[in-house]
Amino acid sequence: MRQIRLGMALRMAVVLVLVLVMAGCSENSGQAKVPPTAEVDVRVVNSEKGEIKIPANPTKIVGLSVVYPEFLQALGVTPIAVQNYHADFPTYLQEPFKNTIKMSIAETPNFEMILAADPDLILAPVWWSDKDYDQLSKIAPTVLLPQRDDWRDELKDIGEVLGKQDIAEKVIQDLVAQEAEAKQKLDDLVGNETVMYMMVMPNSFILYGDQIDRGKFIHTTLGLEMIPNFPDKDPSLSISLEKLPEYNPDHLIIQLNDENNAEVKQTYEDMLDSPLWKNMNAVKKNQVYTMAGKDWFNLGMSPLANSYAINSVLKAFEGNSK
């Protein structure tokens, strides 16, 4: 009798162990459970794809599009890999980006280079990377942020994702103060004299008015007087060299779209040799200021680009007044 009871007890113990094992297996099926300590290091953020889990303190971030890397740097975060339009980074990014991987700019990002960079977070605007989201999100948590008309809103969006809202606001306010100070200095230097901002393209020239980011920066933010005959509602004008004398400012800010492009360089050299150019008011008064294309590429779209451009304009006009 004792042996029968002992056998039944053993069988019940075995059944109990099997039940516990099966329950454990069921609980761990599907996605592996994140250890409690790991959950503490994760934040949930909003994106154009819904809520996304990201590292609480990401250290290896890839910023896609040509402006997101600048937003990251403005917030004190140096990206590990970026898309770049020019072969060289702008002057103001060369030191902080000295170890940053250049992936060039293309309609489809270089997934292999992104994977090799081993990011723990990818940030991009939805208008730029929506089509690539599935592949990007397999590499690292990918946060797509909304399309904005104002770079300040983009900076705030990224600041919110990274928990750097206060820094984003400070960057914006610091730039406002810099703009106001520069505007006053330029008003003292230039007064009501007219200023034109022109970009040299292959075989043509683009003039910017105050209805587009670049021109708005020059004529509204810095308060420099536009030429009177620029069409009110046109953001920009594409003209030939022969038309240039029709827009004859006292001061001319000029930029080459791409200093390494042979056609752009030839157009620029032909312009300098032309009697039409030599007879312009700004040329005769030695009031032409040439700005680097790569340094002004993101003008009107980035606080770092704007800050650098403010200093460049002040330096040019102050140097001319001496």
pLDDT attached to residue 40: 59
Superfamily of chain region 183-321: Nitrogenase molybdenum iron protein domain (3.40.50.1980)
Architecture (CATH level 2) of domain 36-168: 3-Layer(aba) Sandwich (3.40)
pLDDT in tens, 110-121: 999 999 999 999
Res 322: pLDDT: 57
**Tokens read off for 77:** 């975060």
Handedness of CA 30, 32, 36, 39 (dihedral sign): negative
Q: Say what the pLDDT of residue 20 is.
A: 41
Q: What's the order of all strands across the beta sheet hosting 142-145?
A: 101-102, 81-82, 61-63, 121-125, 142-145
Kind of pairing between the strands at 101-102 and 81-82: parallel
161-208 per-position pLDDT tens digit: 999 999 999 999 999 999 999 999 999 999 999 999 999 999 999 999
Cβ atoms of 213 and 148 within 8 Å: the answer is no
CB atoms within 10 A of CB 290: 13
- In whole numbers, what is the pLDDT of the chain averaged over residues? 88
Round to whole Å and give the CA distance between 320 and 287: 7
Under 8 Å CB-to-CB from 2, ≥6 apart: which residues? none
Mean pLDDT value of segment 286-309? 94
Q: Are 52 and 143 in contact (CB under 8 A)?
A: yes
- Is the pLDDT at 33 greater than 70? The verdict is no
Are domains 36-168 and 183-321 of this chain identical in fold?
A: yes
Residue 306 has a pLDDT of 96
- Phi, psi (rounded to 5 degrees) for 239: -130, 165
Share of the chain above pLDDT 90, in %: 80
Whether pLDDT at 6 is above 70: no
pLDDT single digits (tens) 36-85: 445 559 999 999 999 999 999 999 999 999 999 999 999 999 999 999 98
Is the Cβ–Cβ distance between 109 and 132 less than 8 Å? yes
Angle between helices 151-162 and 165-190 (to 10 degrees): 150
Hey, how many other C-beta atoms are within 10 angstroms of the C-beta on 273?
A: 9
- In tens, the pLDDT along 120-153 reads 999 999 999 999 999 999 999 999 999 999 999 9
SS (H, E, C) 63-92: ECCCCHHHHHHHCCCCCCEECCCCCCCCHH
Identify the pLDDT of residue 232. 82
Q: Are the CB atoms for 305 and 298 separated by under 8 Å?
A: yes
Residue 26, SS3?
helix
Q: What is the mean pLDDT of residues 257-282?
A: 95
Per domain, the residue ranges of the chain are 36-168, 183-321
User: What per-residue confidence (pLDDT) applies to 209?
Assistant: 94
pLDDT at residue 24 is higher than 90:
no
